[in-house]
Amino acid sequence: MGASKADEFSDDLNQIAILAKAIAHPARIAIVNYLLIKKTCISRDFEKEIPLSQPTISQHISVLTSAGLMHGETIGNTICYQFDKSALKILSKYCKMAIKKKNRL
């Protein structure tokens, strides 16, 4: 496998790529949607709403957390997750910009 050339691109483009890659799976989109609706969520709630095993859901949550799309706060022996709307704003801003550029062609 070749070396990454991410350092040859701007920080903004790399951030958009990280966020886009993080939501590029239907289970992760389902997790994001659930958090957008509920605003906050206890980790066990995902298992009731998403048809995947707990370890698989945890793996997807880890990807979303690493990308900065969500964060968790430990309360007792459970984790309460929240979506980071600033990450969604970054993606939204990029999509709007891309649509504008396309319309000018």
Q: Quick one: pLDDT at residue 1?
A: 47
Q: Quick one: pLDDT at residue 103?
A: 62
Q: Quick one: pLDDT at residue 102?
A: 66
Q: Quick one: pLDDT at residue 36?
A: 84
Tell me whether residue 35 is in a domain.
yes
Q: Quick one: pLDDT at residue 9?
A: 86
Tell me whether residue 2 is in a domain.
no
Q: How would you classify residue 68: left for phi > 0, otherwise alpha for psi between -120 and 50, otherwise beta? A: left
pLDDT digits (tens, 9 = 90+) for 64-105: 999 999 998 888 888 888 888 888 888 888 888 888 876 654
Interacting residues of 25 by C-beta distance below 8 A, sequence separation 6+: 60, 63
Sign of the alpha-carbon dihedral angle for 56, 78, 83, 14: negative
Average pLDDT of 51-57? 92
Average pLDDT of 51-58? 92
Residue range of the domain that includes 19: 10-104
Structure tokens at 18: 């990280």
- Return the residue matching tokens 């910009």: 97
Domain count, the chain: 1
The CATH number for 83's domain is: 1.10.10.10
Tell me whether residue 46 is in a domain.
yes
pLDDT digits (tens, 9 = 90+) for 3-50: 567 788 888 888 999 999 999 999 999 998 888 888 777 778 888 888
For residues 5 and 69, give the distance between their C-alpha atoms in angstroms, rounded to a whole number: 23
Tell me whether residue 54 is in a domain.
yes
